[in-house]
Amino acid sequence: MSEVRIRNVDDWVVEWHRTQAKLDGKTLETKLRQILTEAALAKKRAIADEMRAGLEKFRSEGRFFSDSSKIIREDRDRRG
């Protein structure tokens, strides 16, 4: 795991998060780790949702992706 240090955070921001952590029965570090993880996951989920929607639209138009594994295998075999 990586270690991160954030400098120059306003005191009120730290205190707000410290209070929220305490209310949740967590340490400040645990609470901030949770916030960062949730933010990253939310973005990843949004991207995945966009990709799924694009794929569904593609399929609804009667289009599809062909299986490229045969072409890839032939190319690898040709190169040795």
Give domain status of residue 4, yes or no: no
Written in H, E and C, the secondary structure of 22-34 is HHCCCCHHHHHHH
What pLDDT, on a 0 to 100 scale, did the predictor assign at position 67?
Answer: 86
How many domains is the chain built from?
Answer: 1
pLDDT in the model for residue 1: 87
DSSP character for 41?
Answer: H
Residue 2 belongs to a domain: no
* Domain membership flag for residue 26: yes
Convert the pLDDT of each residue in 27-67 to its tens digit: 999 999 999 999 999 999 999 999 999 999 999 998 887 88
| C-beta of residue 50 within 8 angstroms of C-beta of residue 58 | no
User: For residue 62, what are the domain limits?
Assistant: 11-79
Residue 15 falls within a domain, yes or no?
yes
In-domain check, residue 51? yes
pLDDT at position 27, please? Answer: 97
Helix (H) or strand (E) holding 43: helix 28-60
